[in-house]
């Protein structure tokens, strides 16, 4: 400001000096000096106004990057304004970056997030919410939510304004064969707006249903032998029985005890398979040795199964792979043994059972069990690996099955990167194949 005053005075003095020496009016030199000073003041005012106009023009939205005035009061004003504008621009950019990061985080959320205004119109939603409700995240902005989601339960939930509990509803892509269940909850926030959160709970509900079925099935499977045992124990305690009858009852009790023991063993095996990490590829087992163990077990089992029969099963074991397989040997033996055991139990005496292990042209390996049993109807095949699923419950119990064998086979195969394939036709036997990846195989003899 001091320089501005000095500049104004300097213009007046310069005008006064010029007026004094030029004698513009022809009157006294004092009058000429005053008129010169007045002219200097006018010139200073014109220049200052011009500079003010330049400053105002630069402050408009179409301003250049650098201010047009570098010195004087207006130069100082523009420099400070430029610093302020830069600071504001940085603040705005930081705010926009934070908003972008926040929206990106919401966009990456596995749950649906949607913002509704005070009239329940969509202000913003992430892609997950758009998929849950079958919306277009851009096109459906500012649309009324009730016009897009025509579920009566959701409409009642939204209009009721009682959001202290979640709503379970069917997803847009839900079908009878592939149900999709959504958990939806709304929350109030500023100005009557609503925050909608949605998540896909299909897997959770299916797991809960499986847990309920599993507990019910286990209870049912254990209750039957326990009832039989309790009845026999009561009979032995209250009645005088002949030695022959007592031995018969004790034999039946032992069978029921073994059945419960097998069931508990299979349940523990399933629990261990589901709760432990996948097997590494550092532990190797000899495939020929594994096949010899399976053959020994199979011949012992068929001798027991056909104890009172005139014929025994025709077992054919063939190992065409001289190498090793990576994984847990006990798990592999259990899975393969289950398939061989099922084939023996369901094949009539004298029937042929083929068991083989061979390497495929693409480097994978295939363990195969072919039986001559009654076969399986096509509608049962997709469900055979479910826990406690039986095609013929009475037949399964007669053969000593727990209903968990194929579930164990499936889990072991998955843990070793393999997959189980079941092929069968009624009256034509069944074929079970486990295909192992090439990464879990290595040849030891050429």
pLDDT average, residue stretch 253-271: 77
Higher-confidence residue of 275 and 436: namely 436
Report the range out of 40-44, 86-90, 120-124, 250-254 with the highest average pLDDT: 120-124
Distances, alpha carbon 75 to alpha carbons 53, 72, 79, 86, in Å = 12, 5, 6, 16
The model's pLDDT over 325-368, given as tens digits with 9 standing for 90+, comes to 998 888 899 899 999 988 988 888 888 999 999 999 999 999 99
The residues with which 354 forms a beta bridge, in sequence order, are 316, 370
State CA 193 to chain mean position distance: 30
pLDDT average, residue stretch 378-389: 84
The model's pLDDT over 208-260, given as tens digits with 9 standing for 90+, comes to 776 776 676 677 667 777 787 888 788 877 877 788 888 887 888 887 787 77
Report the range out of 174-178, 224-228, 317-321 with the highest average pLDDT: 317-321
Closest CA to 286 of 246, 319, 311: 319
pLDDT of residue 24: 56
Give the Cα separation of 225 and 149 in Å (integer): 52
pLDDT average, residue stretch 190-199: 88
Look over the chain and give the mean of its residue pLDDT values, rounded to a whole number.
Answer: 80
pLDDT average, residue stretch 120-149: 88
The secondary structure element, H or E, covering residue 248 is helix 243-275
Q: Are 444 and 323 in contact (CB under 8 A)?
A: yes
Distances, alpha carbon 119 to alpha carbons 64, 122, 157, 192, 437, in Å = 43, 9, 15, 8, 57
pLDDT average, residue stretch 280-285: 83
pLDDT of residue 96: 82
**Region of 226 on the Ramachandran plot (φ > 0 left; ψ -120 to 50 alpha; else beta):** alpha
- High-pLDDT (> 90) share of the chain, %: 19
pLDDT of residue 293: 93
The model's pLDDT over 297-318, given as tens digits with 9 standing for 90+, comes to 998 888 877 766 677 888 999 9
């Amino acid at each position: 400001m001091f320089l501005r005053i000095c500049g104004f005075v300097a213009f007046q003095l310069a005008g006064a000096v010029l007026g004094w020496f030029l004698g513009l009016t022809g009157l006294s030199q004092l009058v000429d000096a005053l008129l010169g000073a007045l002219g200097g003041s006018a010139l200073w005012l014109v220049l200052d106004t011009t500079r003010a106009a330049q400053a105002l023009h630069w402050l408009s939205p179409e301003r250049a990057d650098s201010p047009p005035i570098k010195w004087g009061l207006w130069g100082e004003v523009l420099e400070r304004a430029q610093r302020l504008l830069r600071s504001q621009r940085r603040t705005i950019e930081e705010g926009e970056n934070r908003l972008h990061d926040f929206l990106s985080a919401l966009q990456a959320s596995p749950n649906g997030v949607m913002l509704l205004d005070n009239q329940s119109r969509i202000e913003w939603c992430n892609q997950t919410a758009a998929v849950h409700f079958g919306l277009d995240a851009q096109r459906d902005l500012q649309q009324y939510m009730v016009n897009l989601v025509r579920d009566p339960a959701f409409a009642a939930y939204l209009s009721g304004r009682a959001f202290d509990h979640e709503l379970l509803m069917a997803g847009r892509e839900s079908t009878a064969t592939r149900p999709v269940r959504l958990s939806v909850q709304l929350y109030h926030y500023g100005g009557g707006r609503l925050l909608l959160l949605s998540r896909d709970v299909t897997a959770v509900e299916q797991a809960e249903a499986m847990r309920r079925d599993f507990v019910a099935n286990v209870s049912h499977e254990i209750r039957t032998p326990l009832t039989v045992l309790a009845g026999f124990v009561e009979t032995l305690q209250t009645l005088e029985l002949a030695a022959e009858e007592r031995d018969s009852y004790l034999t039946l009790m032992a069978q029921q005890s073994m059945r419960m023991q097998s069931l508990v063993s299979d349940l523990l095996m399933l629990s261990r398979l589901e709760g432990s990490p996948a097997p590494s590829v550092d532990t190797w087992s000899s495939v020929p040795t594994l096949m010899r163990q399976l053959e020994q077990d199979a011949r012992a089992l068929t001798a027991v199964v056909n104890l009172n029969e005139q014929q025994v099963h025709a077992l054919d074991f063939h190992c065409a792979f001289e190498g090793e397989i990576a994984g847990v040997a006990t798990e592999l033996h259990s899975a393969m043994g289950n398939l061989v055991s099922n084939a023996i139990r369901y094949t009539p005496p004298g029937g042929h059972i083929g068991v083989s292990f061979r390497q495929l042209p693409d480097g994978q390996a295939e363990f195969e069990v072919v039986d001559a049993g009654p076969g399986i109807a096509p509608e049962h095949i997709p469900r055979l690996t479910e826990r406690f699923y039986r095609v013929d419950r009475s037949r399964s119990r007669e053969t000593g099955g727990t209903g968990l064998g194929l579930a164990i086979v499936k889990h072991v195969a998955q843990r070793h990167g393999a997959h189980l394939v079941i092929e069968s036709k009624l009256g034509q036997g069944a074929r079970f194949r486990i295909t192992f990846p090439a990464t879990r195989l290595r040849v030891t003899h050429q």
